[in-house]
Amino acid sequence: MPQPDSQQRITELTTLNALAQTLNRALDLRDALDSALAHIVDLMGLSTGWIFLRGEGDSFSLAARHNLPPAISYPGPAWDEVCDCQEQCYGGRLDKPVNMIRCSRLRDAVGDKRGLAQHASVPLRSGDEVLGILNVATTQWGRISVAELQLLSAVGYLLGTAIARAQLYDHVKVRRVQEQRALLSLSQELLVSEELEPALQRLARVGARLLDADACAFVEADEHGGRAVLRAAFGWQLPSDLAWPIPLDPASPHLW
């Protein structure tokens, strides 16, 4: 027996809340998408769905799948080619929050399809960029209500946000590893360096790169002279005839 509208809305909101918590807690994006997909398919009263992630070079990879029929089992030949929903995405035609598409994989597949013929395709966006596609499959005569379309749209927003956050986190991790490697190399160089000035110049150069800065300098306090002394600099146009270290005082105003 169908649930009353109010009860159905409560169920949908509860599932969306559980989905958001799952995505927020997940350490691995693909595990999170697998779990989220199972929630979504169950809530829709359907049985099958899959999620593509868009990678470098605009290629798509299957990131999550749920209860695929034997005719399109994965891995298998049904997944070798670009499909209609991906083509529409490439052409900018996957432009609605939810798009009903006759599935080319199911159409061309041989074997038991469990009556499935089409799917609702939801572009998973971050801003204007499509990061992936959520597909939930139905039969040739299946219909998705306006309320279900709205639900899928909300799910698409949650998934798109989670994917963008995970990709940013991965980028930051890679950046941190690169920074630590550069700092380790620099510290080792400083330890074995017999001359301080070249090592400090490298410190300024590496520091600018790690900080995404246009310029970087190493300034030392001259306690006896009561002034600051420039020991190394990167990114400044300094006169070539200056002798290092350079006092930072009224006699050298071009440095301020």
If DSSP states are collapsed to H, E and C, what string results for 62-125? EEEEECCCHHHCCCCHHHCCCCHHHHHHHCCCCCCCCEEEECHHHHHCCCCCCCEEEEEEEEEE
Amino acid code (one letter) for 147: A
Lowest average pLDDT, out of 49-53, 94-98, 119-123, 249-253, goes to 249-253
Asked if residue 135 and residue 233 are part of one domain, the reply reads no
Torsion of CA 154, 157, 163, 169, to 10 degrees: -120
Asked if residue 214 and residue 164 are part of one domain, the reply reads no
The pair of structure tokens assigned to 137 is 């499959």
**Beta-carbon contacts of residue 39 (< 8 Å; ≥ 6 apart):** 15, 18, 19, 22
Task: Check residue 219 and give its pLDDT.
Answer: 82
pLDDT (tens digit per residue) in 114-134? 999 999 999 999 888 899 999
Asked if residue 102 and residue 43 are part of one domain, the reply reads yes
Task: Check residue 19 and give its pLDDT.
Answer: 76
Local confidence band at 251 (pLDDT 50, 70, 90 cut-offs): low
Q: What phi and psi values does residue 68 have, to the nearest 5 degrees?
A: -70, 145
Asked if residue 92 and residue 126 are part of one domain, the reply reads yes
Plot region of 62 (φ>0 → left; ψ -120 to 50 → alpha; else → beta): beta
Of the candidates 122, 82, 81, which has an alpha carbon nearest to the alpha carbon of residue 101? 122
- Rounded to 5 degrees, what angle do the CA atoms 99, 71, 57 make? 55
Residue 187 maps to a domain:
no
Q: What is the mean pLDDT of residues 17-31?
A: 76
Task: Check residue 1 and give its pLDDT.
Answer: 40
Residue 179 maps to a domain:
no
Asked if residue 250 and residue 155 are part of one domain, the reply reads no
pLDDT exceeding 90 applies to what percent of the chain? 32
Average pLDDT, the chain: 83
* Burial group, residue 4, by CB count within 10 angstroms (0-12, 13-18, 19+): exposed
pLDDT (tens digit per residue) in 206-245? 777 777 888 888 788 877 777 787 878 888 777 676 677 7
Task: Check residue 112 and give its pLDDT.
Answer: 96
**Beta-carbon contacts of residue 186 (< 8 Å; ≥ 6 apart):** 202, 203, 206
Task: Check residue 174 and give its pLDDT.
Answer: 76
Q: What is the mean pLDDT of residues 58-72?
A: 94
Alpha carbon distances (Å) from 166 to 49, 213, 237? 21, 26, 40
Residue 181 maps to a domain:
no
| Last residue within a domain, chosen from 112, 137, 172 | 172
Within 10 angstroms of residue 147's Cβ, the number of other Cβ atoms is 12
* Calpha distance 15→254 (Å, rounded): 64
Q: What is the mean pLDDT of residues 83-93?
A: 92
Residue 63 maps to a domain:
yes
Task: Check residue 27 and give its pLDDT.
Answer: 65
Total structural domains in the chain? 2
Residue 180 maps to a domain:
no
Alpha carbon distances (Å) from 242 to 231, 245, 246? 12, 9, 7
Is omega for the bond preceding 77 within 30 degrees of 0, making it cis? no
Residue 188 maps to a domain:
no
Q: What is the mean pLDDT of residues 80-93?
A: 92
Of the candidates 179, 231, 238, which has an alpha carbon nearest to the alpha carbon of residue 209? 179
Asked if residue 110 and residue 25 are part of one domain, the reply reads yes
Q: Which residue has the higher pLDDT, 11 or 252?
A: 11
* Calpha distance 131→52 (Å, rounded): 9
Asked if residue 41 and residue 151 are part of one domain, the reply reads yes
**Has residue 51 got a pLDDT over 90?**
yes
Task: Check residue 161 and give its pLDDT.
Answer: 87
pTM of the full structure:
0.69
Q: What is the mean pLDDT of residues 94-110?
A: 92
Check: CB of residue 214 under 8 Å from CB of residue 235: yes
Domain boundaries, position 234: 193-255
Lowest average pLDDT, out of 135-149, 153-167, 206-220, goes to 206-220
Local confidence band at 151 (pLDDT 50, 70, 90 cut-offs): confident
Task: Check residue 75 and give its pLDDT.
Answer: 93
